[in-house]
Amino acid sequence: MSNMDQQTQENVEIMIEAIKTKLRMASGAAMQASNFSVDQYEDIKDLYDIVNGKDRFSISEVEALVSELGKLRKK
């Protein structure tokens, strides 16, 4: 079991930061890791795995991933 399999707020924040870095998100400042809840862990982990599995993303892929992240933010 990898450390990222533990559903903790810390891991959520690590994954969000990694996604932002990999996607070179210009809006990264607006996407604070603390805005995400451990309740969304599985969905965040899925996005994290997708982002980590690819080297390059098209603009439309980045937009789709950012949109999904936006949906997962705490209201």
Q: Which long-range contacts (CB under 8 A, 24 or more apart) does 47-52 make?
A: 47/15, 47/19, 47/72, 48/4, 48/15, 48/18, 48/19, 51/18, 51/19, 51/22, 51/23, 52/18, 52/22
pTM for this structure?
0.79
Percent pLDDT > 70 in the chain is: 88
Residue spans of the domains in the chain: they are 9-72
Over the chain, what is the mean pLDDT? Answer: 86
What was the pLDDT predicted at 14?
Answer: 93
Please check the confidence at residue 1 and state whether its pLDDT lies above 70.
no
